[in-house]
């Protein structure tokens, strides 16, 4: 089934971005919001994307207006009566999504694919609100949708292979990099990212190093930005909510650091609010942020309250944890080794020169990685316990680059 017309529910930043890239590919889009005011904001969000293209002389004002005519704004589900695909992109609140999917199921033709842009919620649970679970699928775009290449395609328990192939084909036609991810809490990218970010917050909370020291150390290893700069960019509330989903799904090995809640209670939600781990109120939109004594005091007060022994920080503390999680996802067949590497580079910005986390493990040496994880397990806790596949590989002599066989083969 080809996609000749699409719908998007939600005209916020993500929804508008998704509608724009689909329409720009030549597919007309019906964009729905709850009222005219929200709908107008959504349309203006799309126009802003095109305005930037006009400013860069990559589009003429006349072409802009032609593109805008491909968007049909509406507040009615009835206007989805002839669409081939609808993508829901509303806040991560399950009850809202269930209500939307029930309404879509009633309004759309029986062969219409119903997709959700959720970054963490259960696809199968959402599909259960419909009479077409075989046609319900996760299609997780990354922010900003018009720039980020990665798309996670997540089938639910009853999603058909045909549905998965249709959305993969669509993503490729949008010049995206789709990867198939089996359903699990956090899917692939967020499942890898959140333990990495949480470990940085734990290291800070435990007095292992300062915000600036941790950020600088991780940038020095090749990451495009430090973990605290990234948290501020994403939003502390968004990260904390994703962390809760993973904690619920995987138990105490992903228990969030107490400092998340402390900063949320202080209304420090990141760059969008002017303050997060850094203070952004002194400069403009490109302000990199400055250290803040208010955060330093909050950390000191929390350390006094928790009375936790001071721990040590090295970049390996964060890297060992995220690599181990990548191995766990491979072990559980959440994605293939190649898809994991694509997800890490295209979704997390891990430097392409390093080829991904599993390649990093091969370069380090599987035996070295296991020893590192065992040491951190003894020092910091069971969240570092090595994936059993790592011990199997070590015992079999598949040690990575040095033996020319690890997660990948080396000639």
Positions marked active-site: 140
CA dihedral 131, 132, 133, 135 (to 10 degrees): -160
- Token pair of 212 as six digits: 């600036």
Query: Count of CB atoms within 10 A of residue 337's CB?
Result: 17
* Measured distance CA(141)–CA(127) in Å, rounded: 19
Give, in degrees to the nearest 5, the angle at Cα 62 between 59 and 65: 95
369 CA to centre of own chain = 25
214-221 long-range contacts, CB within 8 A, separation 24+? 214/313, 217/313, 217/314, 217/315, 218/315, 218/318, 220/315, 221/315, 221/319
């Amino acid at each position: 089934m080809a996609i000749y017309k699409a719908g998007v529910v939600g005209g916020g930043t993500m929804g508008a971005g998704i509608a724009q890239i689909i329409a720009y590919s030549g597919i007309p889009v019906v964009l729905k919001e709850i009222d005219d005011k929200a709908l107008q904001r959504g349309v203006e969000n799309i126009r802003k994307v095109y305005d930037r293209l006009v400013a860069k002389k990559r589009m003429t004002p006349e072409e802009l207006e032609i593109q805008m005519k491909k968007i049909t704004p509406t507040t009615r589900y009835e206007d989805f009566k002839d669409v081939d695909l609808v993508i829901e992109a509303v806040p991560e609140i399950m009850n809202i999504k269930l209500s939307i999917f029930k309404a879509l199921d009633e309004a759309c033709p029986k062969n219409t694919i119903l997709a959700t842009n959720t970054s963490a919620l259960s696809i199968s649970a959402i599909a259960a609100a419909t009479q077409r679970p075989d046609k319900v699928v996760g299609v997780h775009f990354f922010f900003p949708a018009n720039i980020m290449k990665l798309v996670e395609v997540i089938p639910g328990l009853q999603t058909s292979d045909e549905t998965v192939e249709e959305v993969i084909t669509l993503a490729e036609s949008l010049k995206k990099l789709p990867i198939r991810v089996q359903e699990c809490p956090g899917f692939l990218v967020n499942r890898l990212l959140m333990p990495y970010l949480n470990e940085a917050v734990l290291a800070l909370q435990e007095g292992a190093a300062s915000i600036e020291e941790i950020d600088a150390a991780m940038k020095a290893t090749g990451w495009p930005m430090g973990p605290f700069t990234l948290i501020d960019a994403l939003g502390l509330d968004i990260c904390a909510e994703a962390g809760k989903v993973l904690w619920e799904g995987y138990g105490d090995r992903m228990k969030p650091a107490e400092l998340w809640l402390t900063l949320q209670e202080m209304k420090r939600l990141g760059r969008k609010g002017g303050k997060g781990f850094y203070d952004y109120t002194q400069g403009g939109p490109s302000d990199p942020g400055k250290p803040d004594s208010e955060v330093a005091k909050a950390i000191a007060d929390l350390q006094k309250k928790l009375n936790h022994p001071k721990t040590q920080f090295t970049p390996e503390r964060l890297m060992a944890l995220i690599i181990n999680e990548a191995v766990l996802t491979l072990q559980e067949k959440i994605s293939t080794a190649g898809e994991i590497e694509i997800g890490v580079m295209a979704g997390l910005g891990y430097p392409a020169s390093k080829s991904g986390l599993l390649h990093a493990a091969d370069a380090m040496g599987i035996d070295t990685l296991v020893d590192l994880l065992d040491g951190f397990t003894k020092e910091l806790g069971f969240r570092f316990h090595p994936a059993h596949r790592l011990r199997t590989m070590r015992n079999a002599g598949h040690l990575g680059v040095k033996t020319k066989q690890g997660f990948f083969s080396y000639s």
